[in-house]
Amino acid sequence: MTATSAPARLALTMGDPAGIGPEIIVRALADASQVPSSVLVVGDLPVMRRAVAMLGVRLPVAQLETPDDTAPPGAMAVWQPPGMPGHLIERAPGQVHADCGRAAAACIEAAARLALDGHVSALVTAPIHKEALAAAGVCYPGHTEMLQAIAGGPPVRMMLANDELRVVLVTIHVALRRAIDLVTQDAVLDTIRIAHRAALAWGRPAPKVGVAGLNPHAGEGGLFGDEELRIIGPAIAAARAEGIDAHGPYAPDTVFMRARHAPGHPGEFDLVVAMTHDHGLIPVKYLGVERGVNVTLGLPFVRTSPDHGTAFDIAGRGIADARSLKAAIAWARAAQPAAAGLS
C-alpha cells in the first residue's frame, strides 16, 4: 500500500470535463461538513468553477500553483497540471470531445505521478469516457490499464465492492471472445493471490476467496465446457497449496448470492474472483450503483473510483448523484491509516 510517512492527502481527478465528474466532485465536497484541506482536485480550474456555479453551492475555489500548496480553509483546492488543453469550458457537456479525453488523461497521469512520488497517499478518479480517450489518441481503454502502465506494469486487478459484496476480475476491458482466451491458469492464480493479499491488507486475518466458473453450472463436469477442469480448478488447487483459503469453481449464477453479506445472511466468502467483466460486475451493480466502489488492486498506491460512468445523458444538468464518489473517497480514506474520514 502506501508508506506510513506519506501525507494523508488524496488526489481527486476531474474525469472527463464533459461528463458528470466535475459536478459530483463539487457535490461531494459541498456536502461534507467541512471541506478537508487534504483533498487535492486535479483538473481544469474554469471547468470546476462552472460546476460550482451550476450547482449553486457555496464552495470557494482556490487555484494552487503547485500540488504541494494548500488552499484557504473551507475552499476546494484545484491544481491544473501541465499539458492540459485550453478552452475546455467551451466544450459542450454530454458530448465526446478529443480535448476532453486528452484533459482526462493528463489529470490521471499527473495525479498518479503525485502518488508515486509520495505527494499524495491515495488517488480517487472521477469517470472518464473511453471514446473521448480514443479520439485523443490515448491507447488505454480505461483507468486500470493506464495506471498500471504509469506504475511500471505491476500485475493489477479490478475489484468492484460495496458493503455486501466484493468481486475481483480476472479479465476486464476486452471483447468477450478475447476474454475467454485470457482466462489461463496463471491469470486465475495471480488474481486469487492479489485478492488474498488485498484482503489481508484490509485486516482480514484469514480471507476466504470464492472462485466463480466460466461456463454455465461451472461446466457441469465438462458437459458445458472444460475450462473449470483444465484451468480454474488447478489454479485454485495451486492457491490452496500456497496456504490461500480459496474454494470453487462455483456456478457463476449462484456464487454471488452465497458470498453476499446481508442482514441475517452472513456471506460465505470475503471476496469472489470472477472470470469476466460482466460476470463479476452485474451482481455488484445490481445491488446499487450509488453504493459501489471500483478499486484497483496491486498498484503501489491506493486508487478508487465511483461505480459508474460519465453519464453524458445528464451531464451539465446538476442532478448527478455523488454517493458513489463519496463511497470511493471513504474507501480511499479507510485505506490510509493516518487519514481522517470525509464526513
pLDDT of residue 336: 60
Domain membership flag for residue 292? no
Residue 223 lies in a domain: yes
Residue type, 189: L
Number of neighbours of residue 333 by Cβ within 10 angstroms: 22
pLDDT value of position 32 = 77
Encode the chain (343 residues) as per-residue pLDDT tens digits: 333 344 478 999 999 999 999 999 999 999 876 677 789 999 999 999 999 999 999 999 999 999 999 999 889 999 999 989 989 999 999 999 999 999 999 999 999 999 999 999 899 999 999 999 999 999 998 898 999 999 999 999 999 999 899 999 999 888 999 999 999 999 999 999 999 998 998 888 899 999 999 999 999 999 999 999 999 999 999 999 999 999 999 999 999 999 999 888 899 999 999 999 999 999 998 988 778 899 999 999 999 999 889 999 999 999 999 999 999 998 898 876 433 333 2
Shared domain check, 196 and 305: no
Residue 200's beta-bridge partner residues?
A: none
User: 324 exposed, middle or buried (CB, 10 Å; 0-12, 13-18, 19+)?
Assistant: buried
| CATH code of 112's domain | 3.40.718.10
On whether residue 43 sits in a domain, the answer given is yes
Q: Are residues 59 and 111 in the same domain?
A: yes
The domain containing residue 266 runs over which residues? Answer: 163-287
pLDDT at position 203 is 83
Q: In this structure, is residue 14 part of a structural domain?
A: yes
For the entire predicted model, the pTM comes to: 0.87
Looking at the structure, tell me whether residues 149 and 29 fall in a common domain: yes
AA identity, residue 95: Q
> Same domain for 125 and 176?
no
Per-residue pLDDT, 38: 86
- The 3-state DSSP class for residue 32 equals coil
How many separate domains does the chain show? 2
Shared domain check, 192 and 332 = no
Cell of 300: 503501489
Same domain, 201 and 99: no
C-alpha cell recorded at residue 310: 460519465
Q: Output the pLDDT for position 209.
A: 97
Domain match, 280 and 180 both: yes
236-to-160, 179, 184, 193, 217 alpha-carbon distances in Å? 21, 19, 12, 10, 17
88 falls within a domain: yes
Domain co-membership, 150 together with 168: no
Residue among 74, 93, 102, 87 at smallest CA distance from 45: 87
Cell of 242: 500456497
Report the amino acid identity of residue 237.
A
CA separation (Å) from 127 to 70, 168, 279, 290, 309? 25, 19, 21, 13, 5
Residue that finishes a domain, picked among 287, 310, 335: 287
| Residue among 30, 31, 111 at smallest CA distance from 67 | 111
Report d(CA 264, CA 266) in Å as an integer. 6
Question: What angle, 0 to 180 degrees and rounded to 10, lies between the N-to-C axes of helices 21-31 and 45-55?
Answer: 60
Which residue in the block uniquely carries the three cell numbers 479490478? 158
pLDDT of residue 92: 93
Q: Report the chain's C-alpha Rg in angstroms.
A: 20
In a shared domain, residues 216 and 133: no
What pLDDT score was predicted for residue 289? 76
In angstroms, what CA-CA distances link 123 with 109, 288, 327, 335? 11, 23, 13, 11
Asked whether residue 39 is domain-assigned, the answer is: yes
